[in-house]
Chain A
Amino acid sequence: MEKVKQLKAKFIGYVKKDKHRSRSKLKRLFFGMKFTDGLFYKIMIYLMLVGLGYIYLYPMMYMISNSFMTMSDIINVSVNWIPSQFTLENYRLVWDAIDYPKALLDGVILAGLPALSATISSALIGYGFAKYNFPFKRILMALMILTFIIPPQITMMPTFRMYANYDLLGSIMTFIYPAILGQGFNGAIYILIFYSFFRMIPNSLMESAQLDGAGPMKIFLKIAIPLAIPAIIIVFLFSFVWYYNETYLSGLFLRGSDMLTLPLRVEQFIINYTSIYPEGSRARELMQSAKLAGNILTILPLLILFFFTQRHFVEAIDKTGITGE
């Protein structure tokens, strides 16, 4: 009690004696020495982050919560986020309609094999660009970066005809061939990632291996590749995700085949399902939650992948050397 009294007296004295000083202390607490280290600033930052984070996650949350709703919940205005009746019926509908395990396996194969071949080829190409000097190297590099800007609509048609001539349409080869030749979806980015990664490996390592009698291929396999494992993981993950989500070209090249990417399969299911019901009918509007359940099933594998490997994704840009060393 003594101590409390003492403190109280001290505090009152403090306020009475030196109003100015206490106010300045409060001010310092809120605004800090140079504004950016004060409490006020911190709160503002967190508020903005939470607000923006809400905006970013809003569609996700909308998808998840609405996909568990029953039809009556969707029309009910008072039910906003939490469904009054938790149902898995939507998921079961989509799961059965698209034969989810098979569709998932197809999707993973359709994304995984091209991603793997893109990783292998871009590692080779990036190594060639990074470690060797040859005539016209700068021009070739410039051409490679330019391929990123060329939209697929331009190259799509002759490629389509070429595939049609050789009966390749509808097979996974339509994606593997460009990928293994370094021309896959966003291929220039992968090559650049490997390029900047191999540039960081000191040349003396390669030279010492050469003195020990290793050939270029052996140096590449035994020295460069083990050092580039982070880059390999990054490139594989990114190309996997991009191939998995790709629908424009795969919608064209895989038309009519029974092997479709998962987003396309779900889209097809939605089109089939809506065509059963006439335009403007109630049942058609009410299948919202089934569509959303389909979307969730589409992105679920990616979310699981992202959950385990998000560190690689997020640190990818730091490792590409895009900021220029």
Chain B
Amino acid sequence: MFKIFGKIKDIFSSYIIEPVSRFFKTTIHVFKEIFRFIYHTIKLVFVIIPVSIYKKIKVLKLEDVKRFFKDLPKNVFVNYPKAVYRTVKNLRFKSILDISYTHIVLFNKIKIKRTNRRREAFTGLAFILLWIVGYLVFSLYPVFNSLFLSFFKVRLAGADIQRDFLLFNNYRAAFLSDPYFVEILLNYALSMILNVPVTIVFALIIAMLINQNIRGKGIWRTIFFLPVIIASGPVISELMNQGATTLPSIEEYYFIDLVIDNVGTFLANPIQALFDQILFVLWFAGIQILIFLAGLQKIDQSIYEAAMIDGASPWEAFWKITLPSIKPLITISVIYTVVSMSVFSLNEVIIYIRGKMLGESTPAITTGYGYTATLSWIYFIVMALIILIFVGALNIRGRKAH
């Protein structure tokens, strides 16, 4: 009997208490890190950079600045709280917190009215509290931490971390002395600019075909959605290795050779790659097809009828009615396509970045966390630029049409 209780206790402690306590520890640590981060940023902006500039001129006394910032954490974390505590103690409250139906009274001094609106705001915030905590811990903190680290050379010595400030040396290394990064980044950008329109156009064509008055709409939708379910990294890489992502008949046409011969090597490689992986590119269209289909079904049929009576051909109707009414959806799908292609696990750039992080690196360059952070930030900026280019191009065309 006791054995069973002991076992239950073991399970309880190992599956519930430990993870929960670990989680709280993590959260506390993260807040500590955030404070440290703020402190270091202030230091970076107001001390290290100015000092490194002024060092040559030697106007500012380094010791004064150093002393000020040495005392700062002590002031903030020890002296100020002490002062606050002393004043609070001297006030001698009867009660710290008093909640009635109409008011909340803090320290007998601060009165907060409980209105319906405030109550609603409080409940709403309570519902999204999970998200706020998660955002701070898993999005905001890592993003700024990696931005911060990208200016440093980071060395791990056991649990300790040593940082050497490098200013923009990491960025310079990425562009000037890394033998592969710029090349694969350019390849990525070019292939993105070629692949995304292909995906979107095919998605639109397929969605329009399914939207016609045909039999077995459900079956067709299922067929074209199927790749979303099964497209995982290893599966697709295996198919690519065996050459199953290109149609066997495509290679027999001389059209591609003709194109490749005439555009120069710079563009030829991505075009060749596009045709080699044409099925893989099309497989990304699953979600977009559904987005377009939902949009096409929302268009009122009577608009088409009115256009027909006015003598518009189906071709004209497509350009004047269909396309303008699903334009916002095209923007959404372009963003979705770029993001999903950029974070897909077969993407050359992100494999390279992960390799750098785990230390599979070329010896010539400073590697490690700092350099990895730099690479991933450059990659993020390029990706954001590509999204901006696409969205901008779509909007310019829209303005001309009006």
Contacts and interface: CB of A to CB of B under 8 A. Distances in A.
B367 to A, nearest CB: 12
Nearest to B219: A53
A132 B121 contact: yes
Interface string A110-143: 0000000000010011011101111101001001
A48 B202 CA distance: 12
Nearest to A291: B238
A94 B30 CA distance: 43
A97 to B, nearest CB: 15
A157 B373 contact: yes
A91 interface: no
A166 interface: yes
Contacts of B328: 324
Interface in B43-99: none
Given A165-B29, A244-B232, A266-B234, A157 B124 contact: no
Interface in A136-181: 137, 140, 143-144, 147-162, 165-168, 173, 177-178, 180-181
A201 interface: no
A226 B316 CA distance: 46
Contacts of A323: 291, 294-295, 298, 329
A311 B225 CA distance: 11
A151 B294 CA distance: 27
Interface in B228-270: 228-235, 238-239, 242, 244-245, 247
A178 B134 contact: yes
Interface string B352-367: 0110011000000000
A324 B65 CA distance: 55
Nearest to A125: B131
Contacts, number: 289
Given A128-B124, A317-B294, A323-B329, A154 B143 contact: yes
A259 interface: no
B392 interface: no
Contact of B22 (A166, A252, A264, A313): A166
A298 interface: yes
A75 interface: no
A162 to B, nearest CB: 7
Given A45-B209, A181-B133, A314 B218 contact: yes
B342 interface: yes
B149 A157 contact: yes
A183 B232 contact: no
Given A147-B135, A149-B335, A302-B229, A157 B314 contact: no
Contacts of B225: 310, 313-314
Contact of B332 (A128, A180, A322): A322
A55 B138 CA distance: 40
Nearest to B369: A157
Given A62-B239, A158-B142, A181 B130 contact: yes
Nearest to A300: B230
A299 interface: yes
B153 to A, nearest CB: 14
A153 B354 contact: yes
A310 to B, nearest CB: 5
A270 B238 CA distance: 10
A150 B143 contact: yes
Nearest to B375: A153
A94 to B, nearest CB: 12
The DSSP consensus for interface residues of chain A is helix
A53 B357 contact: no
B279 A314 contact: no
B171 interface: no
Contacts of A140: 128, 131-132
A134 to B, nearest CB: 4
A184 to B, nearest CB: 9
A104 to B, nearest CB: 15
B387 interface: yes
A132 B123 contact: yes
B328 to A, nearest CB: 7
B275 interface: no
Contacts of A2: none
A288 B298 contact: no
Given A45-B214, A56-B226, A173-B19, A150 B238 contact: no
Nearest to B242: A288
B290 A159 contact: no
B127 A263 contact: no
A60 B223 CA distance: 11
B223 A56 contact: yes
B280 to A, nearest CB: 8
Contact of A153 (B205, B232, B339, B350): B350
B100 to A, nearest CB: 18
Contact of B26 (A48, A135, A166): A166
B329 A59 contact: no
Interface of B: 19, 22-23, 25-26, 29-30, 117, 120-128, 130-135, 137-139, 141-143, 145-146, 149, 159, 202, 205-206, 209-210, 212-214, 218, 220-235, 238-239, 242, 244-245, 247, 278-279, 282-283, 287, 290-291, 293-295, 297-298, 308, 313-314, 328-329, 332, 335, 339, 342-343, 345, 350, 353-354, 357-358, 369, 372-373, 375-377, 379-380, 383-384, 387
6 contacts: A60-B226, A157-B373, A183-B137, A306-B226, A311-B218, A323-B329
Q: Considering the complex of A and B, which 5 residue pairs feature the smallest CB-CB distances, nearest first?
A: A181-B134, A132-B124, A128-B127, A245-B232, A155-B142
